[in-house]
Amino acid sequence: MAWLPIGCFLIRSQDRIILVDAGMGPDLDDAGPRRFLIGGQLPLGLRALGVAPAEITDVICTHLHSDHCGWLFDLDAVPVFPHATIWFGTGDWHHFVDGPSERLLDHIRHGLRVTAEHGDRLRLVDQDTTVASGVTLTMTPGHTPGHLCVIVSSAQQRAILLGDSIVCPVQLDESTWSSMGDVDPALARRIRERLFRELEDGRTLGSGAHFPELQFGRVLAGEGRRWLA
């Protein structure tokens, strides 16, 4: 058993306030002994930081699993962040919104479709893309077809928000351990290896949406790699 957060990150870049991932909404998902998910805390967390939903300029969803996009729309498919541009991978639109996956909640799917039809607040990404100064999206498919990571940089400092491309640092020691949500486990494993190499460059920190306590860390290379938070 593992107790893991369902985390989101807030980035301030000049006049932009960017939310990375949008939690699972107010829902509770009880899948028995394999999985028990509890949502509901994102509005409280934003309030604690002094940020109102209307102030969010951009929401980046690393992917469209329900625990990463649950606060995009309320149950009537009304945007929770009314002025925000929504960014996510094109492959996830094809897989979750127009495709065969049933893992996307109906009101989220409807909200995304309405947004696509009636405005310009949707940005589908299929290549490395700059969102704002110091905030870049890089494609990391495998966990989902359109999964992406967020690179935050300033001067010589660099951090990667990993989404679910690496679900837990234990995957550094157990390279064959996959997330049960991986759509393409073999590709996801190759992406993890690529990201672990980046995290051992000595200047790049990383954290995932489910990392314990959302701590940032890096990979130390030597006789064997290890994670240092």
Render pLDDT for 110-146 as a digit per residue (tens, 0 to 9). 999 999 998 889 999 999 999 999 999 999 999 999 9
Q: Residue 49 pLDDT > 90, yes or no? A: yes
> Which positions ≥6 away from 116 have C-beta within 8 Å?
122
- Residues paired with 79 in a beta bridge: 73
- Show the beta-strand stretches assigned E in 103-183: 122-125, 129-132, 135-139, 148-154, 157-161
Domain boundaries, the chain: 9-163
Q: Of residues 28 and 166, which shows the higher confidence score?
A: 166
CATH of domain 9-163: 3.60.15.10
* pLDDT score recorded for residue 133: 95
Average pLDDT over residues 17-32: 91
pLDDT at 225 over 90: no
List pLDDT tens digits, range 146-182: 999 999 999 889 999 999 999 999 998 888 899 989 9
